[in-house]
Every structure is written in C-alpha cells, then in structure tokens.
Amino acid sequence: MTEKLVVIGNGMASGRALEHLFESAPGRYQVTVFSAEPRVNYNRILLSPVLSGEKTFDEIVTHPEAWYDQHEVTLVRGQTITTIDRTRKIVETADGVVAPYDKLLIATGSSPIMIPVPGKDLPGVIAYRDLDDVDRMLAAAEKGGRAVVIGGGLLGLEAAAGLKMRGMDVTVIHLAATLMERQLDPAAGYLLEQEMRRRGIDVVTRANTKAIHGDGHVQALELEDGTRIDCDLVVMAVGIRPHAALAKSAGLDVNRGVVVDDRMLTSDPDILAVGECVEHRGQCYGLVAPLYEMAKVVAATLSNAEAEYTGSVTSTKLKVTGVDLFSAGDFAEAKDREEIVFRDAARGVYKRIVLKDNKILGAVLYGETSDGGYFFDLLRQEADVAADRDTLIFGRSFAGGAPLDPTAAVAALPDSAEICGCNGVCKGAIVEAIGAKGVTDLDGVRAHTKASASCGSCTGLVEQVLALTLGDAFEAKAVTPMCTCTDLSHADVRRLIVVRRLKSIPALMQELEWKSSCGCARCRPALNYYMIATWPDEAADDYRSRFVNERVHANIQKDGTYSVVPRMWGGVTTAAELRAIADVADKFAIPTVKVTGGQRIDLLGVRKEDLPAVWADLNDAGMVSGHAYAKGVRTVKTCVGTDWCRFGTQDSTGLGVKLEKAMWGSWTPAKVKMAVSGCPRNCAEATCKDFGVICTDAGYELHFAGAAGLDIKGTEVLCRVKTEQEAIDHGIALLQLYREQGFYLERIYKWAKRVGMDEIRRRIAEDETGRTALVERFLHSQKLFQTDPWAERVAGHDAHEFAPLVTIPAMEAAE
C-alpha cells in the first residue's frame, strides 16, 4: 500500500532526498511538497551568477515542472506550513490547506540573521537568501546608486560582486580584520580584499554597524565610529540560523536546529529532517555538500535501508568569476602543528597546508586552486603524506616526488573521493554511470550524476575520470577559439560580455586581451552582434564591423555589382510597389529583375555608386530593405490560405505578414527564414524553415529547426496552439531565445541541436512565464532597432561611405 510522504520545504536538500528516494523506492510514497516560494526547485548556490548576470533563473532550475509530473509529486506553492499535528498526523498551512502524512520530512532551511540596529526595517534593507532577494537587488541596481553589503563572508562578497557587475557602487562592511575569516587565513583574506578593491568594491574591515538611516527608504548607514555612508540599498549577509520554530511548536527536540540522529530521524520516529534546519551531533551546516550527504541517508531511512550520517568535513569555494579560492578543514595556528607555505606575489598565488602527525588538517589556496579536491580528499581520508612532504604543496602532479599525468593522479583516488562539491558526486558514482548507463562524454555525466552541472569548476576532474575509465574511447571536447585573435570560444565571449559589461569593441579587445589590434573578419562581426544583442539600450552598433553586404544593404555579385531586394511583407505586393520597382530598374539601367524563392523581387546588377540613390527612390515609395543579405529575418513565405484557396483553413497570408512585421530588422546570429502554410498540404514549405506554421482546422502547428541549404533537414514540432496571437508569441520567443544563446553564424537547427530540442520546447512551449519574458525582451529590442537604418543612411550620402572595412574576400571566407 502506498504511503503518504509530506515534505515541508522545496529546497536543495529535500529535492536531492526525493531524487534518491525515487531511485531506491519508486512508487512507494505518494509525495506532497509544500513550498513557501511560488516556484519550482532551484539551485540556491547559483543565485550569485543570476545576480551578476552570468546565468538566468531558468539555467539554475533543478527540478522543472516535468520532474514533478514524472514522479507524480504534488507541489503546493506559496503555502507556508504553520501547524504539525503529530497526534492526527496532519500538517496545515496558514490558508487552511490540510495534508495527512504517514511520514513527514522537515526541510525548512534557515533564516537570514538581521542585525538588530535602528532602521533595519526600512525599505531598501534586505537579506540575501532566495530568488526574491535577488529580484529585489536587481530592481535596486536598475536605479543605480550605492549599495552597502554588511558581511564579508561568502554570501556578502558574492552579493557585492554581483551588484558591482550590475552597475552599482558597492561598499562591504565587515566586523573582522580580514574577509572570510572563517574560511581563510589572514594572508588569503588580505589577497581577497585587494582583489575586491581592484574590482572597484570598497572594503571597510573592523567596522560595526550602529544604525541605518532614511526617511521612508534607506538613505545612509552609520558605523560605530561615526562614519556615515550614503546608500540606496543595504544587504545584510551576516549569517543564518536554522529555521526550527515549526518543529519546536510541534514538540520536537530542538536546540539550535531540529535535533536528528544518525538516520536523520527526529524525536518522533515518523518525522525526519534534512538540510540547514538540522542539528546533528551538536553541529549545524550551511554548505551544500553536507546537505546532500544527509539527503542520501534520508532516502535510505524512508526506504528501510541501512545508512548513517556521521557528520561532514566541509570545503569552501567563492562563486565570483575570476576569483579562485579554496579552503577546507582546520587551519588555525597551534604549537603542535606545522605548515607548508608557497607564495608567488607576481601571480597573486598563495598556498598553505596545515599538518599534524603527517596528516593534513587544513588547506587554504588562493589564486591557484586546481589541487583543492586532491588536498580535500587527503584530509578526509586522513592519509599519511610523509612520503610526499617535500613536494606536497605542488599538488597531485608531484605526488610521490615525480610528476604524474592527471589521469594517473585521478586513478589513485578512491571511489569515495568527491569530484563535484556542488552536487556531492564522488568518483565512484561517475564511474558507475559510465559503466551502467553507457555514458561517453561530459554531457552524459552531467545528465546522470549532475557532476559539473552547477559551477563547472570540477569539469577537468570529470573529464579525467572519463579518460581514465574509457581510455582511448574518450575524446575531450577541445575549446574552439573564435579565431586566431583569441583563445576564447564564442560561449566564453558571450559570457564575459555579460559579466564584464563590455559594450564596445575597443573595450572588449582590451579587457579580453585580444591578440590583434583591431580583430579580423571572423571575430569583429560576431563581437558587434553579441554586444548589441546583449546591451540593446547601451551598446552602439559598429556598422563598420559588419560584412559589406549588411553595410550597403545589398548582396555582392560575382562581377562586383550588387543585387537589391525590397521587402514584400509575406510575399504580398501592390501595383504601386511594382511600378516603383519598374521605375528604379529603368532609371538605373538594372539589367535583371527576378522573382526570388522567398516571394520577392530582386534587382540584379546595381552599380555600387548607384546604391544610395536606388534605396532613396525605393524608400520614397514606402519600401524598405528585404534584408536578403542579413543575419536576421529574411522572408516569411506564405500561401494564399483562406483568402483564395478552397483547402485553406486559416488566414496564412495575414499571419505571415504579421510575423514578418513583428520580427523584421532584428539582428540574429545567422539568417532566419520562415513560412506559413494555410493547410497541411504545405504549399509554403513550412517544414524546412527555421520557423514554420502549418494551419489546421483546430489552429496552428508550430515547427522549428529545419534546413534546406547545404544541409537538408525537416523541422521539429514545437507545439500546437489555438490562436494566431499564440503562434506569433511563440515565434517571437523562439527568435529571442536564439538571439540570446546562438553563436554567430550558427543557424537555428545547429543551435537547437547544441542546446537540445527538449530544452527549447521547455523554455518556449511549457514555461509560460519564461516565454512572456522572452517576448518582452524582444519587443523592447525592437523598439530600439526596428527601423531600416541603412535606408536612412544611404539617402544623401556619397558612395565612398560604403567602402567595406570587412573586405569581400574575407567576408566570403567567413561565410
């Protein structure tokens, strides 16, 4: 008989416990999860990259809607449990929702500590614990000004770095003499402070907050020494305390946290607890690795399997891009301990290992942290390092006194060695996935174990495990640079443009240490696109970095003349437009006029010096560029649909015109072609386009990721919708997601293969909120760019303005 399991809390600990439970005892429990937040489960340790702009919320979702459906989990959102009735074995929310249980799992997490100073309740004073806090910080950052972060620990520094990246001036106030004093020794804390200052973040140590001032909103923070710091936002990141009030009110044993035994059982044998709310053997944990270790034991206990949690040794990493630090264990000074120290001032590297009886007690690494996992495993295993004493500080490469290749070093690790700290994945779990699941690459390891799926710092170790297990069958994916001007890939550059807020090509080339002075025909157009796509309000479109075809609004032909294609919305034209085209053909002696495959008219053989005047005349007739050369929406091919065809089911022509008018003029990574067919006979060939619509009696079938050029590929079905507006919104959202994720010159079908068809369906078809946000971002961009800038530029300008900076041969090679 299926038992009822109620889970209070929808965080990382409870989510991981349910994952293990569904693996070990599928179908045993009917699960109901109560979440105080109005959203699905997400990875809270990655909130800092969301704050800084390196990741979106969708990218840190741990369990999407489909996961709950797959495991038949009832997720009750936005409901806080206020009562646990142990006699009746029910829980009740503040709104009166009641749920019975056979087993109860408490995973209420922790609460941020708010310093009890005057002004702590003013608007503009916030904590940093969940996505709502991040949203509040982002809203404040949009207004600019100064933020004061109280607390120089992990969360405080991540908040400070994120707000700085978002454009705010930031001051960190810290009570201790050095930053992160619980995780770093004074030397490493000093180096970290210098790095924060280099990033433009003010740091005030040995500082105690006296009061927060403001009239209706925070305006200043006052320190005990009388210093006043004017500010618009105060973020308190001074620590957390277990959220155990609910358990205490239910009569469970509570000290600092909910007291549990080694099987994660509370004082009530039908109630378990996990995560930051827990106190085990007098210890409370606030890092993710111990929570995941607890989660395994929770699942085992609920499955009636044998398992014990005996406590955790923790390690620490800071999630701030470009800051490499690692610490683990106990590195306090004492007479019975010795230390090994390595410094490289020029590179900002500092390493310290604390030993006792030839065993590692603690390690602090700053500036070079690749051996953090190696030292951490030696610490946890209490390994004797006497034989490696002389070379220990240099890490695994010198283990045993002689250099070892990385695979050999990984081979020496036991299966219990932790590879991924974020998700608590050991070497053995990865090896098992490779053998049992047939995993052969990094993506497979991420899918089956979650190793390397969060911060990514363990990617190298995961690849070494793959290489060790698979041998010659494993080929690591090499990073492909954009061009010879840089060692960075397209993905690296897109990420760094966001992180470092780069908004011009000179700034980007300086900050990212480009190897050439001005770039080349391969990288300059890509850089220009990435910046205007990322910062539509701020980045200037450097049109001289565009290919010559885009710069002159015409396609270069083999004889050096150009072809000009006026836009015809959805392939529909008028007598006036046709007369204007004929007049231009006569006036400029254009030798060839041809109907294109995209249902437009192409004027071929236009001399370069005539281009400004040709476009001026076409503009006077109300015609804009058809962008037949653009990295953008080129055509929306249509059939006549219900207007004329006896088989038509919807107004395909009208929908095609609306799609084209909504999307034209927006730059994309590569060309985009669309089509709308009025019935399943598909006369407009919608099933080989980047985005296609097949009209049916019931509505619209949406397709994407087709190709009919060098590659021939039929489309994938995105979804089916009932209304014309839904079809338009889905198309816009697809285009915007492609704009934000695609690499330059990467067609939609290649992008879709890279990121995954199912992931695109989830973002566009299943996530209504996310789809709406994509549409809004696209429409905002369109307000700025939906003009015909070339048509405006050419009128009244001399032909020398069109001399290509990116040369024709270089353009052809890059294409």
Q: How much is the average pLDDT of 751-762? A: 89
Q: Binning pLDDT at 50, 70 and 90, where does residue 90 land? A: very high
Q: State the span(s) of the chain assigned CATH 3.50.50.60.
A: 3-110+242-302, 125-238
| Residue 370 CB partners (closer than 8 Å, separation 6+) | 395, 460
Bridge partners for 425 per DSSP: 420
Q: Where are the alpha helices (DSSP H) in 438-534?
A: 442-449, 459-470, 490-499, 505-511, 523-534
Q: How much is the average pLDDT of 581-595? A: 91
Q: What is the pLDDT of residue 627?
A: 77
Q: What is the pLDDT of residue 455?
A: 57
Report whether 693 contacts 677 (CB < 8 A): yes
Q: How much is the average pLDDT of 233-256? A: 96
Q: Which fold has domain 633-785?
A: Sulfite Reductase Hemoprotein; domain 1 (3.30.413)
The 10 Å CB-count burial string (b at 16+, else e) for 798-807 is eeeebebbbe
Share of the chain above pLDDT 70, in %: 92
Q: What is the pLDDT of residue 789?
A: 42
Q: What is the pLDDT of residue 456?
A: 58
DSSP state, residue 286: -
Q: Where are the alpha helices (DSSP H) in 231-371?
A: 245-249, 288-302
Q: How much is the average pLDDT of 681-708? A: 94
Torsion sign over Cα 767, 770, 772, 774: negative
Q: Is the pLDDT of residue 486 over 90?
A: no
Q: Binning pLDDT at 50, 70 and 90, where does residue 798 land? A: very low
Could you tell me the two tokens for 48? 């800092």
Q: Is the pLDDT of residue 595 over 70?
A: yes
| Residue 471 CB partners (closer than 8 Å, separation 6+) | none
Bridge partners for 75 per DSSP: 33
Q: Sheet of 325-329: strands edge to edge?
A: 315-317, 325-329, 359-366, 349-356, 338-344
Other CB atoms within a 10 A radius of the CB of residue 282 amount to 10
Q: Among candidates 9, 13, 16, 240, which has minimal Cα distance to 110?
A: 240
Q: Binning pLDDT at 50, 70 and 90, where does residue 32 land? A: very high
Q: Binning pLDDT at 50, 70 and 90, where does residue 371 land? A: confident
| Residue 219 CB partners (closer than 8 Å, separation 6+) | 213, 230, 231, 232
Output the DSSP codes for 608-672.
GGGHHHHHHHHHHTT--B--TTSSBEEEEEE--GGGT-TT--S-HHHHHHHHHHHHTT-B-SS-E
Share of the chain above pLDDT 90, in %: 53
Report whether 675 contacts 686 (CB < 8 A): yes
Mean pLDDT highest for which of 484-498, 692-706, 746-760?
Answer: 692-706
Please state the residue numbers annotated as binding site for [4Fe-4S] cluster.
639, 645, 679, 683
In this structure, which CATH number among 3.30.450.20, 3.50.50.60, 3.20.20.100, 3.40.1160.10 belongs to the domain 3-110+242-302?
3.50.50.60
Q: What is the pLDDT of residue 623?
A: 87
Distance CA 670, CA 652 (A): 25
DSSP state, residue 77: T
Backbone angles phi, psi at 209, to 5 degrees: -80, 130
Q: Which CATH class is domain 549-629?
A: alpha beta
Distance CA 574, CA 576 (A): 5
Better pLDDT: 612 or 398:
612
H or E element in which residue 598 lies: none
Domain 125-238 = CATH 3.40.50.300: no
| Residue 711 CB partners (closer than 8 Å, separation 6+) | 749
Q: Is the pLDDT of residue 714 over 70?
A: yes
Could you tell me the two tokens for 317? 């990493």
Q: Is the pLDDT of residue 557 over 90?
A: no
Distance CA 361, CA 334 (A): 11
Q: Is the pLDDT of residue 788 over 50?
A: no
Please state the residue numbers annotated as binding site.
639, 645, 679, 683
pLDDT digits (tens, 9 = 90+) for 107-137: 999 999 999 999 999 999 999 999 999 999 9
| Residue 393 CB partners (closer than 8 Å, separation 6+) | 340, 341, 342, 351, 353
Distance CA 694, CA 727 (A): 10
Q: What is the pLDDT of residue 175?
A: 94
> What's the predicted TM-score (pTM) here?
0.64
Q: Is the pLDDT of residue 477 over 70?
A: no
DSSP-based three-state secondary structure for 237: coil
Q: Among candidates 495, 146, 190, which has minimal Cα distance to 343?
A: 190
| HEC profile of 187-235 | HHHHHHHHHHHHCCCEEECCCCEEEEEECCCEEEEEECCCCEEECCEEE
Q: Is the pLDDT of residue 401 over 60?
A: no
| Residue 787 CB partners (closer than 8 Å, separation 6+) | 665
Q: What is the pLDDT of residue 397?
A: 65
Q: What is the pLDDT of residue 404?
A: 44
DSSP-based three-state secondary structure for 345: coil
Q: What is the pLDDT of residue 187?
A: 83
Range 782-786 contact pairs with CB under 8 angstroms and sequence separation of 24 or more: 782/662, 782/665, 782/666, 784/536, 784/537, 785/532, 785/536, 785/541, 785/665, 785/666, 785/667, 786/664, 786/665, 786/666
The 10 Å CB-count burial string (b at 16+, else e) for 472-504 is eebeeeeeebbbebbebebeebbbbbbbbbbbb
H or E element in which residue 156 lies: helix 154-165
Better pLDDT: 476 or 313:
313
Please state the residue numbers annotated as binding site for siroheme.
683
Q: Is the pLDDT of residue 794 over 60?
A: no
Bridge partners for 696 per DSSP: 699
Mean pLDDT highest for which of 21-30, 416-425, 611-620?
Answer: 21-30
Torsion sign over Cα 578, 579, 585, 588: negative
H or E element in which residue 539 lies: none
Q: Is the pLDDT of residue 797 over 80?
A: no
Distance CA 580, CA 567 (A): 13
Q: State the span(s) of the chain assigned CATH 3.30.413.10.
A: 633-785
Better pLDDT: 805 or 441:
441
Could you tell me the two tokens for 89? 């074995």
Q: State the span(s) of the chain assigned CATH 3.90.480.10.
A: 549-629
Distance CA 598, CA 592 (A): 17
Distance CA 658, CA 652 (A): 10
∠ CA 482-485-488, nearest 5°, is 45
Report whether 786 contacts 664 (CB < 8 A): yes
Q: Is the pLDDT of residue 317 over 80?
A: no
CA atoms within 13 A on the CB side of 790: 28
H or E element in which residue 785 lies: helix 768-785
Q: Is the pLDDT of residue 84 over 80?
A: yes
The rounded radius of gyration (Å) of the Cα atoms in the chain is: 30
H or E element in which residue 562 lies: strand 562-564
- What average pLDDT does the structure give for the chain? 87
The 10 Å CB-count burial string (b at 16+, else e) for 65-80 is eebbeebebebbeebe
